[in-house]
Structure 1
């Protein structure tokens, strides 16, 4: 094979199915095509040498054409399990057109032996394996498999190439501070992928990513994609002081959100610094109101104090908590469904990502169930379709699936959802206690557009009366939080549509078979578009 200097690489992000986290039905209100760009791919692009030209096609914002593939010397694909079907289609097209394929990311890293048609697997953390592949590619001797257990120093990570994308098509920009998590929950694969000792970037390196995003003209939501942002509290506090200064200097162009363990609530200084830096939302893996289930899952951090106290403390600081909840633990009692519904209402969490337990590869749960002879199949990564379980549960499978369906239908019943929103608004700190930056930021044009489109559409929806009642009461209760009021109303439309399509009311005709009925877990959202492994990393969630 001749040497490949001056090659053209096409980096492809396969299509994501409709999910709770895709916010497909929200995006039309704000004129965006996708929630977030593929952070893994823009990081890979930054790792490529100058003698290789890179182009990114995100199939979630535009089509992948045959001429795009044919013009490339190599197609690099990043995918999670949830993107499996789209990835397989891309591979078939590449084979038909005679263009070699390299693949990496969470799905290939976990299941490379199940994937056909890939010429080169570049797996695990890309800062280690990608340079090795590139050296062989340049020499004309690329191998079939590149793997390494090495955990790279994040100080060497390049700044993502956001400039290769049209950032105006996205609602949120993803950035990264750390990899790894100090906890080891039984169902989570993060420790296997990134280690138990969090590795972090220096503040100046992280600010360079903020600069790169800002240089594209993007303003709005910035998601720090770490599996547990506060895994190293000392270093995250140092970072937050720098972020607060950067935000103040630039007029707070970004509203920040991230994922963290519940012990965020146990550190007053950390919580205050997050508010000062401009955080408005944090995702917390709450999982269950049943202590026995948390204990068996190794979720000990959620048992150190009543999780209700911690959630309320974060909310009273002015940060919304979105929560992850799981049904199907071995210790779950028969009344787990009603207990989850009541728990979510009590916590005043509008955005509750509820999933059936799935045994993912490379987790302690998967290993235990395999030893017990209870595994039925490899996980699809889809634990919110309610269609099937990939292991034999303690409760009858039919009971779990029916109960899970009822939980989602109840939690996203319009009046119930809006009641949680109103409760949250009453918990938020009063106007006089809010930080200066949240008070002075003007309403953005896209926020005003979302309000007008929301009024025009949702007023006449099937839940129009509940919607109008919420808008009027919410705006009257918290006129200083009108943007938040509207945001939660617009999100409601997405949750209700996805829930109704996934779990139609009894007797309703399911259109288009099951095609639009399969919605995926928040686990997949995290891996898709946010994690940093080669061509995008893994699944699973925060501590």
Structure 2
């Protein structure tokens, strides 16, 4: 049995980092971890081939080789997914699909032969057994959430790692919080399930043995969902693992209450974490109450961000405008918070309602869902009718993006975070492409770019004040170039 695993293309978004990747000679930010894990769950006798359309072309020869095509996708990949399904269907291939997009919108993909939904550890073995017995069903759903202690190591041999800027790994699934607009708990539950430290170390060993020394993203939706397990088991194990290793810097996602635990922050830094994405959403208490972001309420989030920065981890922040309780003042308040916090990577989006969330169900009942969920929170679109009115929301959103990603405002935040951050304990070795990235940045940003004055001022300032932070200053400058290009494409 020849199995072709296909990962659809990401559009150009903030998270694609497409313009930034060109500076370091990479094709995509991350490989398809879900498909690589699914591949490891398939029978050893089956022949496997993986095509990530973000880094390689899907050829007619690939399709002719295959007996079945396995697809996994997120909502933001919908357009590419539909095109791939049509192409596979035209070639007479049996199509098997799973992942967040198909789990949330299974009725929208009638050309798919078999929908293996929810978590593959539960539903994929049932499909394989039925397939080998000649009686596969249309849809496979899980009754509960699997124990991920038996989840296998992803099949890294199926990809060319040097095409990617970062690799990824998963420690836990599920989140103890239940935000109104988030579909994580509907997909993975509210009780975080974790892998054992030995599992995580085995996956890291598999990555390290390939020669990888770059960034590794822990893709957990809330890495600190089980603080006790982290502090007593995983982080001490990671600290020990790093003792004879070079490179392999980690970053992840967490909730803002990370700032409440100095011991946890210190352990994460010692374990090699240098960045964390946090859903801040709004500085407005009414908006936080509305979306049930209770853990962000009644706290000084500006101070919390500073605490995390000073621990040695950069905060990347998610922000939302368009809550029912938002007034026109929210746009300037978001700008002020972002500038004062020093959060360089500020992902601001208009509120959207993903299928499977309480927000979606409520707004469907109010007849306020007016379009498909795009899955891209920074594309200047929303799928709901906002209380404040769509025109006012769009104008306010554009005003935020124009300001925070103007060269002057952006480079101010870069200097702010460089002042606060500790020198990182773990660093990625400078390879040839990253060495060349400095000269590419000097040409593109320092000579050809509109931000040339801000760029050179930052480099001089960094050399004078924080010389060991120069690589980060250049990296953040390149990110800013990417963000501005995306804003020009979708928003301005």
- Smaller-chain TM-score bracket: over 0.9
Structure 1 unpaired stretches of 5+:
1-6, 505-543
Instruction: Judge conservation of contact 2:13–2:379 (CA < 8 Å) in 1.
Output: no
Q: Does 1:356 align with 2:343?
A: no
Residue correspondence of structure 1 range 278-297 to structure 2 within 5 A: 278-297=272-291
**1:304 CA drift (Å):** 4.0
**1:377 CA drift (Å):** 3.2
Q: Distance in 2 between matches of 1:501 and 1:118?
A: 32
- Given the alignment, which residue of 452, 456, 460 partners 2:443? 456
Residue correspondence of structure 1 range 5-16 to structure 2 within 5 A: 7-16=1-10
Residue correspondence of structure 1 range 44-83 to structure 2 within 5 A: 44-83=38-77
Q: Distance in 1 between matches of 2:371 and 2:446?
A: 44
Q: Distance in 1 between matches of 2:441 and 2:143?
A: 48
Aligned to 2:112: 118
**1:442 CA drift (Å):** 5.3
Aligned to 1:512: none
Q: Deviations over 1:333-377 (max 9, x none)?
A: 111111111110010011000000001111111112122232223
Q: Deviations over 1:61-91 (max 9, x none)?
A: 0100011011101001111111111111111
Q: Distance in 2 between matches of 1:304 and 1:204?
A: 38
Q: Deviations over 1:292-333 (max 9, x none)?
A: 100111011111421111111000011100000000011111
Aligned to 1:107: 101
Instruction: Judge conservation of contact 2:214–2:429 (CA < 8 Å) in 1.
Output: no
User: RMSD of aligned C-alpha atoms?
Assistant: 1.3
Q: Does 1:502 align with 2:487?
A: no
**Which SS does the other structure have where 1:184 is aligned?**
coil
Q: Distance in 2 between matches of 1:361 and 1:134?
A: 28
**1:447 CA drift (Å):** 2.8
Aligned to 2:404: 411
Q: Distance in 2 between matches of 1:95 and 1:154?
A: 33
- List 4+ stretches of structure 1 deviating above 4 A: none
**1:214 CA drift (Å):** 1.3
**Which SS does the other structure have where 1:134 is aligned?**
helix
Q: Does 1:248 align with 2:243?
A: yes
- TM-score relative to the length of structure 2: 0.97
Q: Does 1:393 align with 2:386?
A: yes
Q: Deviations over 1:193-230 (max 9, x none)?
A: 11100000000001111111112221111000000000
Q: Distance in 2 between matches of 1:97 and 1:201?
A: 39
Q: Distance in 1 between matches of 2:486 and 2:367?
A: 34
Aligned to 1:511: none
**1:97 CA drift (Å):** 1.1
Aligned to 1:318: 312
Q: Does 1:475 align with 2:468?
A: no
**Which SS does the other structure have where 1:250 is aligned?**
coil
Q: Distance in 1 between matches of 2:90 and 2:258?
A: 51
Q: Distance in 1 between matches of 2:374 and 2:470?
A: 39
Aligned to 2:226: 232
Q: Does 1:484 align with 2:472?
A: yes
**Which SS does the other structure have where 2:104 is aligned?**
helix
**1:395 CA drift (Å):** 0.3
Q: Does 1:275 align with 2:263?
A: no
Alignment length, in residue pairs?
490
**Which SS does the other structure have where 2:175 is aligned?**
coil
- TM-score relative to the length of structure 1: 0.88
**Which SS does the other structure have where 1:249 is aligned?**
coil
Instruction: Judge conservation of contact 2:342–2:417 (CA < 8 Å) in 1.
Output: yes
Q: Distance in 2 between matches of 1:470 and 1:378?
A: 41
Instruction: Judge conservation of contact 2:328–2:396 (CA < 8 Å) in 1.
Output: no
Instruction: Judge conservation of contact 2:13–2:376 (CA < 8 Å) in 1.
Output: no
**1:273 CA drift (Å):** 0.2
**1:163 CA drift (Å):** 1.6
Q: Distance in 2 between matches of 1:479 and 1:235?
A: 37
Q: Distance in 2 between matches of 1:82 and 1:423?
A: 32
Q: Flag the 1:300–1:16 CA change in 2: closer, same or farther, 3 A.
A: same
**1:149 CA drift (Å):** 3.0
Specify which structure has the bigger relative contact order, considering alpha-carbon pairs within 8 angstroms and separated by 6 or more residues. Answer: 1
Structure 2 unpaired stretches of 5+:
none
Q: Deviations over 1:70-124 (max 9, x none)?
A: 1101001111111111111111111211111011111110101011211110100
**Which SS does the other structure have where 1:17 is aligned?**
coil
Q: Deviations over 1:144-195 (max 9, x none)?
A: 1111132111101000111211001100001000000000000001111111
**Which SS does the other structure have where 1:128 is aligned?**
helix
- Given the alignment, which residue of 179, 194, 200 partners 1:200? 194
Q: Deviations over 1:488-530 (max 9, x none)?
A: 11111111111112233xxxxxxxxxxxxxxxxxxxxxxxxxx
Q: Distance in 1 between matches of 2:192 and 2:2?
A: 35
Aligned to 2:160: 166
Q: Does 1:402 align with 2:395?
A: yes
Q: Distance in 2 between matches of 1:70 and 1:128?
A: 30
- Given the alignment, which residue of 332, 343, 347 partners 2:337? 343
- Given the alignment, which residue of 12, 27, 38 partners 1:18? 12
